[in-house]
Amino acid sequence: MRRLIGAIARRVGVRRHAAPATPEPVVVGFGQALGERGLDFGGWLEGRRSRRIPPLFVDGSPERIARIRLRFPAEVLRLREVAEALLRHEFDLLGSGPFVPRDPDRSAHDDGYEPIDWRLDPRSRERFPHGFPCRAWNLAEMAPRGADVKAPWEIGRLQHWVVLAQTARLTDDHRFADEIVRQALDFREANPVGIGVQWVCTMDVALRTVSMALAIELLEGFEPVADSSREILYEALWDHGAFVRTHLENFYEVTSNHYLSNLVGLLFAGAVFDDLDPGAEWWRFARGEVAREIEKQVLSDGADFESSIPYHRLVTELFFSAARLADHRGDPFDPAFRGRLVSMLEFLAGTLRPDGVMPQIGDADDGRLHVFSGHGVRPPEDPRHLFAPAAGVLDDPRWLAYADALGPFEAAWWGIETAETAEFAPSEIERLWPEAGVAVRRVGGDYLIVTNGRVGTCGFGNHKHNDQLGFEIHLRGVALVVDPGSYVYTPDPAARNRFRGTAAHSTVRVDGEEQNELRPDWLFRLFQSGELPVLALESSEGATTIRGTHTGYGRLADPVVHERSFRFEISRRRLLVRDHLSGRGRHEFEWCLQLAPGVEAVRVTARRWRLAARGEEFFCDFDRDVEAQVDPSWHSPSYGRRTPCLALSWRERVVLAGAVVRCFTLAEAEAGPHCGG
């Protein structure tokens, strides 16, 4: 295992390039920047308060807080419950379950404050080392066995600070604001700038920057916070902005959500400090780069280029928040940028399952930019928080139909007033996103999504899975076949590779091989095999047909081409899947259906299986007698969580001398037991 981890550390999935040739900005401290303007902190703060428009879009004015308190009394009560748990340092992150990270190396303060263990992985109970310069980080040598570095990074994003700040304002209770100041001092003591595990990933530093900026802004109108405490917070925020500016993740062969997060963090810090020269430069630089990155990272059909729907949610949130901030400051992005935002939202809305959550196609790590609502209630795989704010940013109320009941509360913290949202009822859709390689047919509770996409991130495949011609289907609102998800990354390489491998997806595996080359020691890399996959959609009366081809098995000694068609007959609630496998030589074909958690499978005949869930009954029928079997499997709805489920699979050994065609159906009982024509 250590040898494998070492290889992973050396092969992070993309090759590094030298940093850009532009000179690295000089690091200027907060005090020095104030001095260059002839100011002390008090003078700067007074000037800041005299500005007509606050730097960020979160509105902490007494008038806005009073309106939120009056309009959302239930949410105020629930936020307080969450914030009270945070005062006790009770967390539940990335599937950890409840935990209290007490630092064993530091004593409780006289006032009872217990220092937080900022380097704990609560699942393994292992702690990451401290005291090393961030540029000396080496996963192989420094990660404890089985520990997940994402756990300390997640708590270190400080996204719970917004909860504390919201609650302080809504309840006028200074304890929650005091907790933010205490944690700021605690974090600085345990994690000096640039030292330790909390500084090794600039993306996480940038997301922490946004959390700090939002919490500080919300507390700006809160009188119980002393100016001396505000100086601590603003200085910490400045240090984060300066760090991000000089540690950008733009030295790989291609930029991705990491670099975009860096830029958005700089936007927020730059907006706060735009009256100081470095802060103004942060804004100018980041704004220009964000405008360029949307052209690089978003395909022309609106999908994020990393071949992952959950990461599409994160990237959409990053671009939307940047747009909201630019609008607020009177420096909006151009119409082309906003047009790309619309296409991103259309992809997110179009791929939603009937239950309102994302299919877990590609990687998922629950990444968010900021969390204003749904704490402890909205599951990580639910992206509906974005639609109400997006309706305001785009001035288009149609997106409110995709929001959940918390949408207006979420939008209020974006500084946007919206109407109440109705019960979620996604619109009917029949659409192909050709560049993304995703097709969807959705009518009420009936839903089919098919994926046959390129290896994403310009061919690196850092978040792509071997899911070519895989699918997910729901009938009458019951999930029957689902994508398996991701589970975890580095703490369990075997599980990482299993969840992203071909065998875990509802497609055909040939000779036990992967569709795209998957090397076990490259946890964030796939290697494109064959030509770019093809996906097409046709509509006819009463049916949607989706066809695709991939040539990933062309690298075999005896190549095989896989063509698959899906005929989805909504009126009959019937899906017919046909596989056309062409080539030469002896092969073993393996079909798999990853059943959703809670779906039971019972053999009826050699050609029929009964699938039952939630009191409903469906059938899987084959066009010939098959030796099918049911095995235990796993579904991961979000990072760090996995739920037992079943996989229905069957194999066939064939001597190819051209092509074979096989088919099966998934349908209600009355749809008929055979695949037929």
Q: For residue 568, what pLDDT band results from cuts at 50, 70 and 90?
A: very high
* CATH number of the domain to which 617 belongs: 2.70.98.70
Give the pLDDT confidence of 657-668 residue by residue, as tens digits: 999 999 999 999
Question: Does 270 map to a domain?
Answer: no
pLDDT of 97: 94
Question: Does 520 map to a domain?
Answer: yes
Question: Does 281 map to a domain?
Answer: no
Mark whether 623 and 589 lie in a shared domain.
yes
3-class secondary structure, 451: strand
pLDDT of 19: 41
Backbone angles phi, psi at 479, to 5 degrees: -75, 125
Residues 284-297 have a mean pLDDT of 98
Q: Look at residues 23, 27, 149 and name the one whose alpha carbon lies nearest to residue 93.
A: 149
Question: Does 534 map to a domain?
Answer: yes
Q: For residue 419, what pLDDT band results from cuts at 50, 70 and 90?
A: confident
Which stretch of 199-203, 329-333, 400-404, 483-487 has the lowest confidence by average pLDDT? 400-404
Q: Look at residues 283, 154, 39 and name the one whose alpha carbon lies nearest to residue 639.
A: 154
Task: Say if CB 113 and CB 182 are below 8 A apart.
Answer: yes
Question: Does 517 map to a domain?
Answer: yes
- What HEC string does 267-326 produce? HHHHHHCCCCHHHHHHHHHHHHHHHHHHHHHECCCCCECCCCHHHHHHHHHHHHHHHHHH
Residues 504-509 have a mean pLDDT of 98
Q: Look at residues 28, 22, 54, 47 and name the one whose alpha carbon lies nearest to residue 278.
A: 28
Mark whether 93 and 226 lie in a shared domain.
yes
Considering 404, 424, 444, which residue would you say is the last residue of a domain?
424
Strand partners, 580: 563, 661
Considering 424, 447, 476, which residue would you say is the last residue of a domain?
424
Q: Please report which helix (H) or strand (E) contains residue 30, including its range.
A: helix 30-36
Mark whether 585 and 458 lie in a shared domain.
yes
Tell me the C-alpha distance between 458 and 171, whole Å.
48
pLDDT of 420: 80
Mark whether 460 and 402 lie in a shared domain.
no
pLDDT of 464: 97
User: Is the pLDDT score of 12 beyond 80?
Assistant: no
- In the chain, the percentage of residues whose pLDDT exceeds 90 is 89
Helices assigned H by DSSP within 157-221: 160-171, 174-190, 202-219
Handedness of CA 290, 296, 302, 303 (dihedral sign): negative
- In the chain, the percentage of residues whose pLDDT exceeds 70 is 95
Mark whether 560 and 450 lie in a shared domain.
yes
Mark whether 508 and 606 lie in a shared domain.
yes
Question: Does 487 map to a domain?
Answer: yes
**Mean pLDDT of the residues in the chain:** 93
Can you give the residue range of the structural domain that contains 466?
429-671
Q: With b meaning 16 or more CB within 10 Å and e meaning fewer, what string describes 349-378?
A: bbbbbbbbbbbbbbbbbbbbbbbbbbbeeb
Mark whether 648 and 520 lie in a shared domain.
yes
pLDDT of 670: 58
pLDDT of 593: 98
User: Is the pLDDT score of 677 beyond 70?
Assistant: no
Residues 59-66 have a mean pLDDT of 93
Q: Taking the mean position of all CA atoms in its chain, how far away is CA 588? A: 36
Strand partners, 583: 560, 658
Give the pLDDT confidence of 102-118 residue by residue, as tens digits: 999 999 998 999 999 99
Q: Look at residues 511, 499, 446, 504 and name the one whose alpha carbon lies nearest to residue 474.
A: 446
Mark whether 495 and 614 lie in a shared domain.
yes
3-class secondary structure, 102: strand
Tell me the C-alpha distance between 169 and 261, whole Å.
27
Question: Does 288 map to a domain?
Answer: no
Q: For residue 6, what pLDDT band results from cuts at 50, 70 and 90?
A: very low
Question: Does 665 map to a domain?
Answer: yes
Task: Say if CB 293 and CB 263 are below 8 A apart.
Answer: yes
Considering 376, 400, 424, which residue would you say is the last residue of a domain?
424
User: Is the pLDDT score of 24 beyond 70?
Assistant: no
pLDDT of 25: 61
User: Is the pLDDT score of 675 beyond 90?
Assistant: no
Q: Look at residues 182, 195, 198 and name the one whose alpha carbon lies nearest to residue 108.
A: 182
DSSP 592-646: EEEBPTT-EEEEEETTEEEEEETTEEEEEEESS----EEEEEEE-SSTT--EEEE
Tell me the C-alpha distance between 39 and 303, whole Å.
46
Tell me the C-alpha distance between 162 and 185, whole Å.
17
Backbone angles phi, psi at 419, to 5 degrees: -75, 165
Tell me the C-alpha distance between 353 and 447, whole Å.
7
pLDDT of 541: 84
Half-sphere exposure of 132 (CA within 13 A, CB side): 16
User: Is the pLDDT score of 21 beyond 80?
Assistant: no
Mark whether 149 and 231 lie in a shared domain.
yes
For β-strands 438-443 and 534-540, DSSP reports them as unpaired
Mark whether 164 and 224 lie in a shared domain.
yes
Give the pLDDT confidence of 355-379 residue by residue, as tens digits: 999 999 999 999 999 999 999 889 9
Mark whether 457 and 313 lie in a shared domain.
no
Per the structure, the count of domains in the chain is: 3
Mark whether 60 and 76 lie in a shared domain.
yes
pLDDT of 51: 87
Residues 6+ apart with CB under 8 A from 267: 282, 283, 286, 287, 290, 322, 325, 326
Which stretch of 250-259, 360-369, 646-655 has the lowest confidence by average pLDDT? 250-259
Which stretch of 7-21, 144-158, 205-219, 393-407 has the lowest confidence by average pLDDT? 7-21
